Each structure stands twice: as C-alpha cells, then as structure tokens.
Amino acid sequence: MATSDVLSTRFLAYDKMYTHDLREQSFADWPFREDCNCTPEKMAAAGFVHCPSENEPDVACCFFCLIELEGWEPDDDPWSEHEKRSPNCGFLTMKKYFTELTVSEFVNLEKARLKVYIRKTCHKNMACLRDAIDHVLEELKSQLDSIL
C-alpha cells in the first residue's frame, strides 16, 4: 500500500480515536505491559494508536498529528516522546477531555487535524514527484550522453 494510502486510511479511521478507550483497545498486541512506562493505557493517554507492521510490532501513531514512533523501550514515557517530536500536536495542547468539548471546539480540532493530514499528504506527494523528476532527468542525461 502506498504511503499516501496509509495516511488516508489512518486519517479516516482515526476520527473515532478521540476516545481514550478506543485508542487503548488498539494496543491488544502491544509488547510492553506491566513494569513498563509505555503501557497501553499510557500510550493511549498520550494520543497513540497501535499500528504494527509485519517488521515493526511496536509502531504507534498519534491519531491527531499522525506522527509514527517505533523502537519503544520499556522506560520510554509516551507523553514526553510525543511532545519531543510533535510539540504542536493539537491533541497534546487540548486542555479538556474529549467528552467536555463543545461542538465548536470539536469542529475546530477536526479542522486542525485535517490541515495536518493535508500537509503531510502534500509533502509526501511532493517528495514522490521530486523523485520522479530526478529519475526522468537521469534518464534524459543518460540518453543524451549516449548520443554524444
């Protein structure tokens, strides 16, 4: 699946992940449990959803800013790791529990979440376009060199 497809799927599926319980349920196969700082409960509290891959069983993604973190250690603090790598995440700066948000506040958060998704998608698409342009330029250069 292409990276932009993964982003789209996550963005659409994560709209329900404002709820702590749903985020925590995603950690059913999470490798860190008791005697760890990055338990499913703490991961969910920091906004993460478990999204493992075949090669990376400990990938967690913020439902809001879509940052992916892997390589967790038992003593890693999910909240501080999230803050360190995405300090402007709308979830981290939310001052209320989801259940206390007004409709207007929720709509504004969803607009911010959509902006994050659009920005990430555009950056990934631009990087793919740059790679394609570089490839075409190399091919043209090679053809030109073979003619001369």
* DSSP codes of every residue in 3-37: HHHHHHHHHHHGGGTTSHHHHHHTTTT-S--TT-S
Residue 74 near residue 36, CB atoms below 8 Å: yes
Does residue 134 surpass a pLDDT of 60? yes
- Share of residues in the chain with pLDDT > 70 (%): 91
Domains of the chain with bracketed CATH: 3-147 (1.10.1170.10)
Per-residue model confidence (pLDDT) at position 17? 86
What kind and span of H or E run contains 127? helix 103-147
Contact call for residues 29 and 50 (beta carbons, < 8 A)? yes
The tens digit of pLDDT for each residue in 70-124 reads: 999 999 999 999 999 999 999 998 888 888 889 999 899 989 989 988 998 899 8
Residue 26's CB is within 10 A of a number of other CB atoms, namely 22
* pLDDT at position 33 over 80: yes
